[in-house]
Amino acid sequence: EPEVTQTPSHQVTQMGQEVILRCVPISNHLYFYWYRQILGQKVEFLVSFYNNEISEKSEIFDDQFSVERPDGSNFTLKIRSTKLEDSAMYFCASSEGFATGDSGYTFGSGTRLTVV
Amino acid sequence: AQSVAQPEDQVNVAEGNPLTVKCTYSVSGNPYLFWYVQYPNRGLQFLLKYITGDNLVKGSYGFEAEFNKSQTSFHLKKPSALVSDSALYFCAVRDVNSGYSTLTFGKGTMLLVSP
């Protein structure tokens, strides 16, 4: 069964450093997403991406965040200057479509980001 | 705006007994509803969905959920729980009419099945 692949599985970084979280969505999917889950809290939407541009973003997704699809397979989330409160599990997801009948998203296994 | 409420932080049930994990939602239009399960150190796995049609939907691992429009609920059920069902369960909603594909998740309910 097709999978969404995320790397690394765990990343530790110092406060103020830039990090790039990487994702390989399912190949025929057109919509890509980043969500995050702070430990013990609910899963929160960050951003959605379609046709090489951001289609929606949440209040969490401020100027220190950016997303990119640098080639035909990868989808990245960059945090420019990490803060302690950015420590969370970051999930990438992709979906086949937007229209009626889509089965929701396929999530990756996540990248646990720890900012120290 | 869309929202999801999972009123129970934790549900405890003995193996072999039926289980219910509760979920209520709020959307301005028609909902797409989903249940996901998260095992420790794993991603979110899709269990089942309601898009349209029969209010009782069946999903993976013997789980089912019933869509109740009047009560705006989508409770997850299983007739006979297994110890291996112990995990964190998330309900999610998407507003069909919103024009966006964003899912809004509940805070999750930990299901603990005792032997």
pLDDT in tens, A2-21: 789 999 999 999 999 999 99
Q: What is the DSSP string of B4-29?
A: EE---SEEEEETTS-EEE--EEE-SS
What residues contact residue A21 under an 8 Å CB cut-off, 6+ apart?
A6, A11, A34, A76, A77, A78, A79, A90, A92, A111, A113
The nearest CA of chain B is from the CA of A81 a distance in Å of 26
Tell me: cis bond preceding A8? Omega within 30 of 0 counts: yes
Give the pLDDT confidence of A87-116 residue by residue, as tens digits: 999 999 998 876 444 556 888 989 999 999
Among A residues 53-72, those touching chain B with beta carbons less than 8 Å apart: 55-56
Q: For chain A, say whether B88 makes contact (Cβ under 8 Å).
A: no
Lowest mean pLDDT among A23-27, A31-35, B92-96: B92-96
Cβ–Cβ gap B107/A41 under 8 Å? yes
Q: What pLDDT, on the 0 to 100 scale, is given for residue A100?
A: 41
The nearest CA of chain B is from the CA of A82 a distance in Å of 23
- The predicted model gives B60-89 an average pLDDT of 96
Cβ–Cβ gap A101/B107 under 8 Å? no
Lowest mean pLDDT among A65-69, A98-102, B97-101: A98-102
Residue percentage of chain B with pLDDT more than 90:
69
Q: What pLDDT, on the 0 to 100 scale, is given for residue A101?
A: 45
- The predicted model gives B47-53 an average pLDDT of 88
Amino acid type, B25: Y
Q: How many other C-beta atoms are found inside a 10 Å radius of the C-beta of residue A66?
A: 14
Among A10, A42, A51, A103, the residue to mutate for chain B (most B Cβ within 10 A): A42
3-state secondary structure of A101: coil
Is residue B114 scored above 80 in pLDDT?
yes
Q: How many other C-beta atoms are found inside a 10 Å radius of the C-beta of residue A63?
A: 7
Contacts of A21 in chain B (CB under 8 A): none
Question: Which stretches of A38-110 are assigned E, i.e. beta strand?
Answer: 43-50, 53-57, 65-68, 75-79, 88-95, 106-107
Confidence of residue B78 (pLDDT cuts 50, 70, 90): very high
Parallel, antiparallel, or unpaired: how do β-strands B109-114 and B10-14 relate? Answer: parallel
